[in-house]
């Protein structure tokens, strides 16, 4: 097994990020020591994925404290910097959660804030391993076919967290147990987190996978090739409605029709009990250019408008199981049926 990917770390003076926009081609790092650069890195998705955003939210408070010291900020400038950080991406609950988890310690000084942020980061990775174990147990108790073939959407691995991964952590755990067949990886248009990042992580681990167009997901499920769909979450409302990367809802609908379990894996920190339902989850809309072009090359005629919601909301009734580090909650009422026939990998 290769060394674990660490998308977020602390150098002592700055946040060190793997620049995920350059993957899979290049492994480059960014060192960030001011809030404007951090907000920019978050918005351009150099760092992304809800738990990784929680980590930079917490470390970002330390960055703001250092900048306050260097530039002589007053109280207002400091609190506006924290607000900009909190709101840099509105759907991912963990970003504001990470800021708020350490903001109360600012009075105690920089060392206390950094210590708490590093503790949260270590806990996140441990939580992911627990999610992996609980999720794999649940899936192996519900899915009859062996080996288990999985469909996943977006990137929920080490790169999206602080190590190991949530939904991809379950995939890794199934692989570790010798129970995994093949993973169908939705490419995840428009920014290709599946093709660029999930396939990169699975390739490093030697886990068999196919990258497929997002539009293939429904037929992959309905033709019996996937036994379970596993995704992550950016925010889970109190009723189980789950915001995740655009396209997740289509996977959930296909999973229901195909009678395979649709599993959401996320740490408890992504569960937002103050938000009663998906109707109240803020959805991030991104630039039209992301859907109208790829790598600077237009893919639509000049004059077309782009519609680019970054996330959608899957109703809780379509979620067979929500797996956190503490529990497996069978959100949808009724039993999750086992697939009807034996499935072989193509």
Question: Which residue ranges make up the site for ligand MRU (CB under 6 A)?
Answer: 45, 48-51, 92, 154, 156, 160-161, 166, 193, 232-234, 244-245, 310
Q: How far apart are CA 218 and CA 288, in angstroms?
A: 26
CB of residue 68 to ligand MRU, shortest distance in Å? 28
Q: Which is nearer to ligand MRU, 50 or 291 (CB)?
A: 50
Q: How far apart are CA 250 and CA 254, in angstroms?
A: 6
Tokens found for residue 328: 């497996």
Chain position whose Cβ is nearest to ligand MRU: 232
Q: Which of 124, 214, 234, 312 is catalytic?
A: 234
Tokens found for residue 314: 């899957």
The yes-or-no answer on residue 186 being catalytic is no
CB of residue 291 to ligand MRU, shortest distance in Å? 14
Q: Which is nearer to ligand MRU, 138 or 164 (CB)?
A: 164
DSSP 216: G
Inter-residue contact 228 to 150 (CB < 8 Å) = yes
CB of residue 7 to ligand MRU, shortest distance in Å? 11
DSSP 25: T
Q: How far apart are CA 260 and CA 338, in angstroms?
A: 7
CB of residue 111 to ligand MRU, shortest distance in Å? 29
Q: Which is nearer to ligand MRU, 67 or 166 (CB)?
A: 166
Tokens found for residue 112: 């206390």
Give, for 293, the enclosing helix (H) or strand (E): strand 293-294
Q: Which is nearer to ligand MRU, 193 or 212 (CB)?
A: 193
Q: How would you classify the pairing of strands 328-329 and 321-323?
A: antiparallel
Active site members: 234
């Amino acid at each position: 097994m290769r060394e674990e990917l660490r998308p977020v770390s602390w150098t002592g003076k700055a946040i060190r990020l793997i620049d995920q926009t350059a993957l899979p081609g290049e492994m480059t790092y960014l060192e960030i020591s001011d809030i404007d650069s951090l907000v920019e890195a978050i918005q351009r998705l150099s760092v992304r994925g809800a738990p990784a955003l929680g980590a930079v939210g917490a470390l970002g408070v330390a960055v703001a404290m250092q900048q306050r010291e260097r530039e002589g900020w007053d109280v207002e400038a400091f609190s506006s910097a924290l607000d900009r950080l909190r709101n840099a991406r509105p759907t991912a609950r963990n970003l504001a959660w990470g800021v708020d988890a350490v903001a109360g310690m600012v009075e105690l000084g920089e060392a206390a804030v950094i210590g708490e942020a590093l503790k949260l980061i270590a806990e996140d990775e441990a939580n992911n391993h627990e999610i992996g174990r609980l999720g794999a147990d649940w899936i192996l108790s519900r899915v009859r076919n062996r080996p288990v073939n999985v469909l996943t959407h977006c990137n929920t691995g080490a790169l999206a967290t602080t190590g190991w991964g949530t939904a991809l952590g379950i995939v890794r755990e199934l692989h570790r147990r010798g129970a995994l067949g093949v993973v169908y990886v939705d490419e995840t248009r428009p920014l290709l987190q599946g093709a660029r990042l999930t396939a990169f992580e699975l390739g490093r681990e030697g886990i068999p996978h196919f990258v497929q167009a997002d539009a293939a997901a429904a037929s992959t499920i309905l033709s019996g090739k996937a036994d379970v769909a596993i995704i992550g979450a950016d925010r889970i409302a109190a009723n189980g409605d789950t915001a995740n990367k655009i396209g997740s809802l289509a996977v959930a609908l296909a999973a229901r029709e195909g009678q395979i379990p649709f599993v959401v894996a996320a740490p408890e920190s992504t569960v937002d009990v103050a938000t009663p339902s998906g109707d109240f989850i803020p959805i991030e809309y991104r630039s039209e250019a992301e859907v109208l072009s790829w790598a600077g090359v237009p893919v639509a005629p000049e004059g077309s408008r782009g519609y680019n919601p970054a996330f959608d909301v899957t109703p809780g009734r379509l979620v067979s199981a929500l797996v956190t580090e503490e529990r497996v909650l069978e959100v949808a009422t009724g039993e999750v049926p086992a697939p009807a026939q034996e499935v072989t990998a193509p």
